[in-house]
Chains A and B, each alone.
Chain A
Amino acid sequence: MLTLLKRIFKSGWQNFKRQGNLVFATSSVLIITITLISFLFLGHKIIKFAIDEIKAKADISVYFQETAPEEEIIGLQQKLSGFSGIKGVEYVSREKALEDFVERHKDDKGLIASLEEVGANPFLASLNVSAGEMASYDNVSKFLEGDNFSAIIEKVDFNRRKPIIEKIFDITSFVDKTGIIISAVLIAISILLVYNTTRLTIYSQKEEIGISRLVGASNRFIRGPFLIQGVLCGILSFLTSLLIVGITSYFLGPKISAFFPEFQLLALFKNDFRNVVLLQFGCALVLGILPSFLAIRKYLRV
């Protein structure tokens, strides 16, 4: 058994070294496919992150009257947090609002002087509500416009922002759908590429499988070296593809970030390195072995 295994490994390694054209053709397709899948994986994460970021900015603010007790505001914050589709409800007290304003405009001496002239804190406490869907904002808005809260609410900043929020949701939904369509097209191209390589491998291995059978080789003796060769092609493609994705992220990542600060390709590659490696390695093994496996299945019946 050990001798058989040794011969299978040796033969697989020899085929890998000697069948340069086939290895090149198979590995090129695998590298393209795996790199494509990797960028789809990273791209999907980036787009999802960017969409979430943009959606988070599309919040509505509820301003409370100066006299509104803090406990009631916090009670309302808890109630709103329980609404379906609500992602976050942030409480900004009057003091915090003032602090934020001063911090934001510390260089604008005229504005700070005017503020000091007013003497008291002119800001109102507020709740910033962010949701994942447009419908949730509508629900929150209707809930807040009810009579129960008119005593403490100064204004709800929703109707003014509604068209902008709707626009943001339309755009993100479009980007999301387009991303899915592009992914589907790219995956279809990958499948076509792998399918054609499979046919090429099957064709080139047909003769060899037939001869091996006629010489009296058992199925496992024939299958083994082809599978080893497939695994080696997979490993070669995996390493090359990892290098391509790494180098691209390193050099292109900062350039993309300069235009779109949300697109942190390099950071994402580093954070998700383990997942990228697992994804690439898994794809490489499956796509490396599949053509040989199909070829053997077809031609072992000689």
Chain B
Amino acid sequence: MIEFQNVTKIYPPSTIALEDASFKIKEGEFLLIVGRSGAGKTTLLKLILAQEKPTRGRVFFEEKEVSKIKQGQLPFLRRKIGAVFQDYKLLESKTVYENVAFALEVMEAEDKEISTDVPKILDIVGLRDKANNFPRQISAGERQRAAIARALIHRPKIILADEPTGNLDPYNASEIIRLLQKINELGTTVILTTHNKELIKKLKKRTITLENGKLIRDDEEGKFIL
């Protein structure tokens, strides 16, 4: 589904964020990307989302080279992806309901579909009673759940979760992970970046380890060796 071929990303003037990374991700997989801060985890996700272009090498999504996709076609790529960020990236001027509905609205979904699906997904993430609250009026854990609801609502093929538990307490963090596991069980590919040791051990999923931009390990079952 996703393939990195000798991908290097250098931020000017000479910061190497990712160096000669090659790996494949199969459909339906749950992949953990681990490493210290600055190891290149976020850059890797940005390359899939076409937020950044590789300096060298190629990134493929469903056999299409991501960096070759034209600006006008990028929304179509991103609609296949659900992204969850550590800082949530919710629209502050919209309510929780509107933030989630926004992902469907941009795809020009029917009003009826929006009014049926949004309450359902808010139920799943446990935010039905916070639907009319603005992001600033809910807790960090709730904001992250709202972001997950937005990432899921349009049934993407893949979820990219960039340290989604980074700002959360252990209880909320395990809630979010349980949610991502459930999504994965239903067939959606999940890529999760983290540096949470316990989480990696507990999940027992394929784990790619990055260090200073280099891919140093690719284990079938997670290990934390940093």
Contacts and interface: CB of A to CB of B under 8 A. Distances in A.
Interface string A255-277: 00000000000000000000000
A181 interface: no
Contacts of B155: none
A22 to B, nearest CB: 9
A212 B107 contact: no
B49 A7 contact: no
Interface residues of B, number: 29
B91 interface: yes
A171 interface: no
Given A215-B103, A215-B150, A216-B78, A14 B91 contact: no
Nearest to A222: B106
B79 A211 contact: no
Contacts of B93: 14-15, 18-19, 208
Nearest to A215: B103
B51 interface: yes
A14 B98 CA distance: 11
Contacts of A299: none
Contacts of B78: 213-216
A250 interface: no
B21 to A, nearest CB: 22
Interface residue tally on A, bucketed by range: 20 to 34
A208 B91 contact: yes
B71 interface: yes
A219 interface: yes
A216 B103 contact: yes
B4 interface: no
Contacts of B103: 215-216
B205 interface: no
Contact of A219 (B72, B90, B108): B72
Contacts of A185: none
A273 to B, nearest CB: 37
Contact of A216 (B51, B91, B106, B111): B106
Interface string B75-102: 1111101010000011111100010001
Contacts of B51: 214, 302
B29 interface: no
Given A212-B106, A214-B49, A215-B150, A3 B111 contact: yes
A214 to B, nearest CB: 6
Nearest to B88: A211
A95 to B, nearest CB: 79
Contacts of A207: 92
Contacts of B49: 214
Given A3-B108, A14-B94, A302-B51, A216 B75 contact: yes
Interface of A: 3-4, 7, 14-15, 18-19, 207-208, 210-219, 221, 301-302
Q: Which 7 A-B pairs have the closest CB atoms?
A: A216-B78, A216-B79, A217-B106, A216-B75, A211-B89, A218-B75, A18-B93
10 contacts: A3-B108, A207-B92, A212-B91, A214-B49, A215-B102, A215-B150, A216-B79, A216-B107, A216-B154, A219-B72
Interface of B: 49, 51, 71-72, 74-79, 81, 83, 89-94, 98, 102-103, 105-108, 110-111, 150, 154
